[in-house]
Structure 1
Amino acid sequence: MLELRDIHKHWNGQPLLRGVSLGVAAGETVALLGASGSGKSTLLKIVAGLEAPESGQVWFDHTDITALPPERRGFALMFQDFALFPHLNVRDNVAFGLIEQGHRRAQAREQAEALLAPWGLAAHARARVWTLSGGEQQRVALARALITRPRVLLLDEPFSALDAALREQLRAEFAERIGAAGMAAVLVTHDETEARGMAQRAWTLRGGRLESAW
Structure 2
Amino acid sequence: MLELRDIHKHWHDAPEWPLLSGVNLRVDAGETVALLGASGSGKSTLLKIVAGLEAPEQGSVWFDGVDITGWPPERRRFALMFQDFALFPHLNVRDNVAFGLIEQRVRKAEARDRAQAMLARFGLAGHGDARVWTLSGGEQQRVALARALITQPRALLLDEPFSALDAHLREQLRDEFRERITEAGMAAILVTHDAQEAQAMAQHAWTLREGRPQPLW
Give the TM-score of the pair, scaled to structure 2: 0.98
Alignment-derived partner of residue 4 in structure 2: 4
SS state of the match for residue 146, structure 1? Answer: helix
By how many angstroms is 1:121 displaced? 0.5
State the Cα deviation string for residues 145-186 of structure 1 (Å, max 9, x = none): 000000000000000010111101110111111111111000
Matched, 1:28 2:31: yes
Distance in 2, Cα, partners of 1:84 & 1:116: 15
Q: What amino acid is the match of 1:94? A: V
SS state of the match for residue 20, structure 1? Answer: strand
SS state of the match for residue 112, structure 1? Answer: helix
Matched, 1:55 2:76: no
Matched, 1:199 2:195: no
Alignment-derived partner of residue 172 in structure 1: 175
Give the TM-score of the pair, scaled to structure 1: 0.99
By how many angstroms is 1:122 displaced? 0.8
Distance in 2, Cα, partners of 1:3 & 1:119: 30
Distance in 2, Cα, partners of 1:38 & 1:84: 27
Distance in 1, Cα, partners of 2:199 & 2:128: 32
- Structure 1 residue ranges without an equivalent (≥5): none
By how many angstroms is 1:125 displaced? 0.5
Distance in 2, Cα, partners of 1:118 & 1:64: 34
State the Cα deviation string for residues 25-68 of structure 1 (Å, max 9, x = none): 11111000111100000000000000000000001111111010
Count residues in correspondence. Answer: 214
1:56-205 equivalences in 2 (<5 Å): 56-205=59-208
SS state of the match for residue 57, structure 1? Answer: strand
By how many angstroms is 1:118 displaced? 2.3
- Structure 1 runs (4+) greater than 2 angstroms displaced: none
- Structure 2 residue ranges without an equivalent (≥5): none
State the Cα deviation string for residues 73-94 of structure 1 (Å, max 9, x = none): 0100001100000000000000
By how many angstroms is 1:107 displaced? 0.2
Identity %: 79
SS state of the match for residue 99, structure 2? Answer: helix
SS state of the match for residue 91, structure 2? Answer: coil
